[in-house]
Amino acid sequence: MKSLPQISEAEFEVMKIIWKYAPISTNEITDRLVKTTAWSPKTIQTLIKRLVTKGVLSYEKQSRVFVYTPLVDKTEYIGQESNTFLNRFYNGNLSSMLSAYLDNDRLSEAEIDELRSLLSKK
């Protein structure tokens, strides 16, 4: 699997909007993010530019509007981040991670039931 660019938490918030609504214009991205964050439009534009520079987004100018499309698949990116977390904190051992969550009561009964269901499918 190829290594994907690292993106910050703020950049990830921008990507969530783009993954959901792409292709999407700068104004549409800004309109959605100003409702859920305290960011200024200028900050949002800076985050978009960083994502383009990192090769995570492509854009096309349509008349006077820039329209963005992701170059990185959401599932692939989240998978890479999950693996990084697992390797960094649990030496790649999923059982150790789940055990730590269970020992610290960080999983609800509903989450445990969901995990049982997922495991029984395999």
Q: Which domain holds residue 40?
A: 9-70
Residues 19 and 51 placed together within one structural domain of the fold: yes
Q: Judge if pTM exceeds 0.75.
A: yes
Tell me, yes or no, whether 86 lies in a domain: yes
Strands (E), the chain: 24-25, 57-62, 65-70
CATH of the domain at 97: 1.10.4040.10
Tell me, yes or no, whether 14 lies in a domain: yes
- Assess contact for 70 and 22: CB atoms under 8 A: yes
Mean pLDDT of the chain: 93
Residues 62 and 95 placed together within one structural domain of the fold: no
Instruction: Dig out the tokens for 20 from the structure.
Output: 């959901």
Residues 65 and 104 placed together within one structural domain of the fold: no
Nearest to 22 by CA among 70, 71, 61: 70
For the chain, how many structural domains are there in total? Answer: 2
Tell me, yes or no, whether 4 lies in a domain: no
Q: What is the dihedral of CA 1, 68, 85, 109, to 10 degrees?
A: -110
Q: What is the pLDDT of residues 18-68, one digit of tens each?
A: 999 999 999 999 999 999 999 999 999 999 999 999 999 999 999 999 999
Residues 105 and 61 placed together within one structural domain of the fold: no
Tell me, yes or no, whether 3 lies in a domain: no
pLDDT band for position 2 (cuts 50, 70, 90): low
Residue 114 CA to residue 117 CA, distance in Å, equals 5
Residues 105 and 66 placed together within one structural domain of the fold: no
Tell me, yes or no, whether 28 lies in a domain: yes
Q: Which of 28, 54, 70 is the last residue of a domain?
A: 70
Residue 115 CA to residue 122 CA, distance in Å, equals 11
Side-chain half-sphere exposure of 103, counting CA atoms within 13 A: 6
Question: Which pLDDT value is given to residue 39?
Answer: 97
Residues 17 and 61 placed together within one structural domain of the fold: yes
Question: Which pLDDT value is given to residue 84?
Answer: 85
Question: Which of 105 and 114 is assigned the larger pLDDT?
Answer: 114
